[in-house]
C-alpha cells in the first residue's frame, strides 16, 4: 500500500474510523490533517469499543506512528483527557507512537465559550455547531490570532503571547456577548494543566513525514467529516470550518509535496446527517425512527440523534468527485436487513426539472428526491465475509451504487467490529 487517504464522501459519520483502524495494519504512519475534537471516530477491535475525537485511529496498531498535523484544531484539554482515558483502557500511547505537530495551532480557552455564545445568539437559526470551539478557532487562525503548539517550549514567551491575545479576545467576550473575561490566573492554570504535559509529544512532523516519504514508508491520511462539509465545496454555511477533502491532506498533514496514490472514500449504505442544513433525502416519522434505531444513529461526540434517509446518489456522486476517490468502502450494509424494499435516490427534481447534479447550496431547499426501489434481502448479513456469500439482492444494491457513482466499491462492512468486512478483490 502506498500513500492512502481515508475520507468521508457525504456528511460525516460514514465509518472512517473503522476503515482507518483496519487499513492501518498495512501502513507506517497515520496522520489526522484537519478538524478537531468534534470528531467521533468509532473503532471496535480486540481492545474494545472506542470513540476517538482527536487521536488518529491508527493508535491501536503496534508499530504505527500517529501524527496530529498542523491542520488540526489542537485542543490540549480534550486531547489530554482522551489520552488518559484511552491509556486507562490498556492502549499504549507514548511520545514514540504519538507525535504532535509543533505547527498545529492551539484551541484556546475562549474558543469553546465563543462557539456556545454565538449558537445561543443565533437562537432558532443555529448552524448546528458541536460547540467544541472549532469555528472560532479556525477564524482566529485565519486572522493570525493563534498560538502554535511549539511555542509551549518557551513558557515565558508563550504566556506573554497568550495574554496579548486574551486582551483582544476579552473585548469580544465582554463587549459583544456580555460574557465573562478570561483571567490571567485561568490562563496560567490552563498552561500548567493542559499545555505543559504536551511537551514530550511535540515534533517537527513535517520533517518526520518527509523522512518517512523519502524512506518509502506508507502514510495513511485520516479525514474528519465528509465532502459535503468541506469549507470551500460543501453545503455552505452548514459546513465545518476546515477542508475535509483528500486534496488538503498533504497541506494539513505537514507534507505539502505528498502524493496520494489511493483515496478510499467511505460511504454509508444509507444517509445520515447530524446538525442543521439541507438534507434532501430526510425521512421523518416512523420510517426515520426505525432506520435510526437499526443503525444506532446517535452522535459519538454529542449523543444527538442523527437525521436519516435513503442513500443519496446525487450527493454521493458529488462527494466521490470532490474527493477524487479511487475506490469506495460501503459501510453498514447490515443495517438495511429489516427492509422489504430499499429506496435509492438517483436524481433530484428542482423547479420541475430532473437533475443528477448536486446543486448550488442555496438551491438545495428546492430539491426533492427521485427514488428507485430495490428489493431488500430481509436477513442478517453480519456473519458474511465473502462477496459471493451475500444474498443476490444485496449484491445488486452494491453494484447499482458503484455503477451509478462511477467508482468501485472494494470494501463492504457488515458490522462495527474490525473483522466484519467483505474485501472485494
Instruction: Clarify whether 13 is annotated catalytic.
Output: yes
Of 34-42, 161-169, 275-283, 353-361, the window that binds ligand GDP (rule: CB under 6 A) is 34-42
**307 is a contact residue toward ligand GDP (CB under 6 A):** no
Instruction: Give the number of residues written for the chain.
Output: 425
Q: Of 5, 9, 10, 15, which one interacts with ligand GDP (CB under 6 A)?
A: 15
Please, which residues bridge with residue 105 across strands?
Answer: 73, 148
For residues 265 to 304, the per-residue mask of contacts with ligand GDP, x marking binding by CB under 6 A and - elsewhere, is -----------------------------------x----
**244 is a contact residue toward ligand GDP (CB under 6 A):** no
By DSSP bridging, strand 367-375 and strand 341-350 are antiparallel
**218 is a contact residue toward ligand GDP (CB under 6 A):** no
Closest C-alpha to 211, from 27, 25, 29: 29
Q: Of 40, 58, 277, 359, which one interacts with ligand GDP (CB under 6 A)?
A: 40
Closest C-alpha to 274, from 123, 132, 117, 137: 132
SS3 of 307, please? strand
Of 90-98, 200-208, 353-361, 414-422, the window that binds ligand GDP (rule: CB under 6 A) is 414-422
Closest C-alpha to 117, from 181, 160, 190: 181
Of 140-148, 169-177, 247-255, 326-334, the window that binds ligand GDP (rule: CB under 6 A) is 326-334
Of 153-161, 169-177, 314-322, 330-338, the window that binds ligand GDP (rule: CB under 6 A) is 330-338
**16 is a contact residue toward ligand GDP (CB under 6 A):** yes
**415 is a contact residue toward ligand GDP (CB under 6 A):** yes
**414 is a contact residue toward ligand GDP (CB under 6 A):** yes
Q: Which three cell numbers stand for residue 254?
A: 505537514
367: left (phi over 0), alpha (psi -120 to 50) or beta: beta
Q: At what angle do helices 109-122 and 134-142 cross, to 10 degrees?
A: 110
Please state the closest distance from residue 269 (CB atom) to ligand GDP, in A.
8
CA 338-342-344 angle, 5° bins = 145
**186 is a contact residue toward ligand GDP (CB under 6 A):** no
Query: In 10 A of CB 233, how many CB atoms?
Result: 21
**42 is a contact residue toward ligand GDP (CB under 6 A):** yes
CA dist 227 → 66, 240, 247 (Å): 23, 10, 11
Burial zone of 341 (CB within 10 Å; 0-12 exposed, 13-18 middle, 19+ buried): exposed
Please state the closest distance from residue 287 (CB atom) to ligand GDP, in A.
18
Nearer to ligand GDP, 52 or 114 (CB): 52
Q: Of 37, 411, 416, 418, which one interacts with ligand GDP (CB under 6 A)?
A: 416
Nearer to ligand GDP, 158 or 397 (CB): 397
Please state the closest distance from residue 85 (CB atom) to ligand GDP, in A.
16
318 Cβ partners below 8 Å, 6+ apart?
A: 227, 228, 357, 358
Q: State the residues that interact with ligand GDP by CB under 6 A.
A: 8, 12-18, 40-42, 44, 300, 331-332, 334-335, 413-416, 420
Residues with catalytic function: 13, 41
Amino acid at each position: 500500500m502506498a500513500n492512502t487517504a481515508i475520507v468521508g464522501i457525504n456528511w460525516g459519520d460514514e465509518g472512517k474510523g473503522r476503515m482507518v483502524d483496519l487499513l492501518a495494519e498495512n501502513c507506517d504512519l497515520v496522520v489526522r490533517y484537519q478538524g478537531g475534537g468534534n470528531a467521533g471516530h468509532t473503532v471496535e477491535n480486540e481492545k474494545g469499543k472506542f470513540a476517538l475525537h482527536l487521536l488518529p485511529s491508527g493508535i491501536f496498531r503496534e508499530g504505527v506512528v500517529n501524527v496530529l498535523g498542523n491542520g488540526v484544531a489542537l485542543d490540549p484539554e480534550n486531547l489530554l483527557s482522551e489520552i488518559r482515558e484511552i491509556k486507562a483502557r490498556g492502549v499504549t500511547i507514548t511520545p514514540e507512537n504519538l507525535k504532535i505537530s509543533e505547527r498545529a495551532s492551539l484551541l484556546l480557552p475562549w474558543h469553546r465559550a465563543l462557539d456556545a455564545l454565538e449558537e445561543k445568539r443565533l437562537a432558532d437559526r443555529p448552524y448546528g455547531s458541536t460547540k467544541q470551539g472549532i469555528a472560532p478557532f479556525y477564524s482566529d487562525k485565519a486572522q493570525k490570532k493563534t498560538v502554535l503548539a511549539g511555542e509551549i517550549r518557551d513558557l515565558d514567551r508563550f504566556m506573554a503571547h497568550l495574554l496579548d491575545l486574551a486582551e483582544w479576545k476579552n473585548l469580544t467576550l465582554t463587549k459583544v456577548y456580555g460574557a465573562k473575561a478570561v483571567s490571567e490566573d485561568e490562563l496560567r492554570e490552563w498552561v500548567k494543566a493542559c499545555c505543559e504535559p504536551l511537551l514530550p509529544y511535540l515534533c517537527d512532523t513535517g520533517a518526520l513525514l518527509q523522512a518517512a516519504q523519502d524512506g518509502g514508508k506508507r502514510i495513511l491520511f485520516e479525514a474528519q467529516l465528509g465532502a459535503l462539509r468541506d469549507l470551500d465545496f460543501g453545503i455552505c454555511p452548514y459546513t465545518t470550518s476546515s477542508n475535509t477533502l483528500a486534496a488538503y491532506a498533504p497541506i494539513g498533514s505537514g507534507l505539502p509535496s505528498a502524493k496520494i496514490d489511493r483515496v478510499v472514500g467511505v460511504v454509508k449504505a444509507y444517509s445520515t446527517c447530524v446538525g442543521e442544513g439541507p438534507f434532501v433525502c430526510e425521512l421523518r416519522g416512523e420510517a426515520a425512527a426505525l432506520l435510526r434505531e437499526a443503525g444506532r444513529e446517535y452522535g459519538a461526540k454529542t449523543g444527538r440523534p442523527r437525521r436519516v434517509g435513503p442513500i443519496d446518489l446525487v450527493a454521493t456522486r458529488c462527494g466521490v468527485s470532490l474527493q477524487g476517490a479511487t475506490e469506495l468502502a460501503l459501510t453498514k450494509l447490515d443495517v438495511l436487513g429489516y427492509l422489504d424494499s430499499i429506496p435509492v435516490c438517483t436524481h433530484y427534481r428542482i423547479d420541475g426539472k430532473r437533475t443528477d447534479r448536486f446543486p448550488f447550496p442555496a438551491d438545495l431547499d428546492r430539491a426533492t428526491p427521485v427514488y428507485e426501489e430495490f428489493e431488500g434481502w430481509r436477513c442478517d448479513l453480519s456473519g458474511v465475509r465473502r462477496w459471493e456469500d451475500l444474498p443476490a439482492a444485496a449484491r445488486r444494491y452494491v453494484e447499482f451504487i458503484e455503477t451509478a457513482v462511477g467508482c468501485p466499491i472494494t470494501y463492504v462492512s457488515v458490522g462495527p467490529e474490525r473483522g466484519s468486512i467483505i474485501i472485494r478483490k
